[in-house]
Amino acid sequence: MRRLLNFLYDACAWLAALCMIGVLVMVLLSILGRQFHFLVPGTDAYAGYFMAASGFLALAHTLKKGEHIRVTLLLSHLHGGARRGLEIWALTAAVLIAGLFAWFSVRLAWQSHAFNDISTGNDATPLWIPQLSMALGAVVLLIAFIDEWVQELRGQRSHEQPAELLRNE
């Protein structure tokens, strides 16, 4: 199961990276179009879609690598049962919030498909297509939070120093 979950997180990170390349291609295409006097409609909209997709698809991988920003002021002063209790409380809240986020993201994509909602820009893209990346990213983030929550309940979660404390920026 661990290998499958890690593959899911890594696959979403690779999709996010591909979406960043998509942003680059759209921006370069827009620049080249201005320089050489040709128009590719929707490049700005697609750059935005790719940017949103890259952000949402990278959420779970970022969480699992410990790269999300956490306020550890209180947590760093707690030890033992108090620290574990606060971790479980925070992860429970995160699972609930991520669950709502995933539910409404999937619902939004589904409704956009059902109502044939399209972009108001000149690209006229069916909105459910770019919204799928948000829904997928939100669902995988929910899975990652549940994964962290279960590991914490089993006592298997690593409590290493958060990655942001290791940097000296």
Q: Residue 135: is its pLDDT beyond 90?
A: yes
**Residue 154's pLDDT is what?**
92
Task: State percent of the chain over pLDDT 70.
Answer: 93
- Is 119 exposed, middle or buried (CB count within 10 Å of its CB: 0-12, 13-18, 19+)? middle
Q: Are 128 and 112 in contact (CB under 8 A)?
A: yes
Locate 132 and state its tokens. 């799928």
Q: Residue 69: is its pLDDT beyond 90?
A: no
| Listed range (5-9, 31-35, 71-75, 135-139) with the worst mean pLDDT | 71-75
Mean pLDDT of 80-100: 93
**Residue 160's pLDDT is what?**
64
**Residue 79's pLDDT is what?**
85
